[in-house]
Amino acid sequence: MNMPELMIEARDLRRTFGTKEAVAGISFSVRRGEIFGLLGPNGAGKTTTIRMLTGQIDPSGGSASVAGCDVVKGRAQLKECIGVVFEAQNLYERFSARQNLQFSCWLYGLPVSRADEVLSLVGLRDRAKDKVSKYSNGMKQRLMIARALLHKPPMLFLDEPSRGLDPIATRAIHQVIQQLRTEGVTILLTTHLMEEADQLCQYVGFIVNGRLVANDTPRNLKLAHGQRSMIVTLTNQPGDHPGNGGLPPASALLAGGHAGAHPASPGVAHDMREVSLSMDDPADQRRLAEWLGQGRVLSVHSREATLEEVFIEVAGTSLI
Label residue 236 by pLDDT band (50, 70, 90): low
Shared-domain flag, residues 61 and 113: yes
Shared-domain flag, residues 175 and 268: no
For residue 176, give the nearest of 144, 130, 133 by alpha carbon.
144
Shared-domain flag, residues 119 and 267: no
- 314: in domain: no
Report the alpha-carbon distance of residue 297 to residue 290 in Å, rounded.
10
Shared-domain flag, residues 244 and 182: no
- CATH for 285: 3.30.70
Shared-domain flag, residues 261 and 209: no
Q: Model's pTM, two decimal places?
A: 0.80
Label residue 159 by pLDDT band (50, 70, 90): very high
- What pLDDT is recorded for position 266? 47
Shared-domain flag, residues 193 and 236: no
Identify the three-state secondary structure at position 137: helix
Report the alpha-carbon distance of residue 219 to residue 235 in Å, rounded.
33
Shared-domain flag, residues 147 and 261: no
Label residue 93 by pLDDT band (50, 70, 90): very high
Neighbouring residues of 217: CB distance < 8 A, sequence distance ≥ 6: 202, 203, 204
| CA 21 to the chain's CA centroid | 25
- 100: in domain: yes
DSSP state of 22: E
156-160-165 Cα angle (round to 5): 120
Domains in the chain, number: 2
Task: Calculate the average pLDDT of the chain.
Answer: 85
Shared-domain flag, residues 13 and 105: yes
Of the chain, the end-to-end C-alpha distance in Å amounts to 42
- CATH for 59: 3.40.50.300
Q: Mind listing the pLDDT tens digit for each residue in 291-317?
A: 888 888 888 776 677 888 888 888 876
Shared-domain flag, residues 270 and 216: no
Under 8 Å between Cβ of 221 and 304: no
Shared-domain flag, residues 259 and 191: no
Shared-domain flag, residues 189 and 231: no
- 192: in domain: yes
> pLDDT above 90 covers what percent of the chain?
61
Residue 253, pLDDT > 80, answer: no
Residue 257, pLDDT > 60, answer: no
- What pLDDT is recorded for position 237? 53
Q: Mind listing the pLDDT tens digit for each residue in 162-210?
A: 988 999 999 999 999 999 999 999 999 999 888 999 999 999 999 999 9
Under 8 Å between Cβ of 314 and 214: yes
**Phi, psi at 11, each rounded to 5°:** -130, 110
- 1: in domain: no
- What pLDDT is recorded for position 312? 86
- What pLDDT is recorded for position 192? 85
- 97: in domain: yes
Report the alpha-carbon distance of residue 217 to residue 18 in Å, rounded.
34
Shared-domain flag, residues 34 and 148: yes
- 209: in domain: yes
- 320: in domain: no
Query: What residue numbers bound the domain in which 219 lies?
Result: 6-224
Partners of 203 in the beta sheet?
36
Q: Of 224, 247, 277, at which residue does a domain stop?
A: 224
Q: Please report, for residues 18, 170, 209, the alpha-carbon distance to residue 206 in angstroms, rounded to integers and kept in the order given.
A: 24, 22, 10
- 318: in domain: no
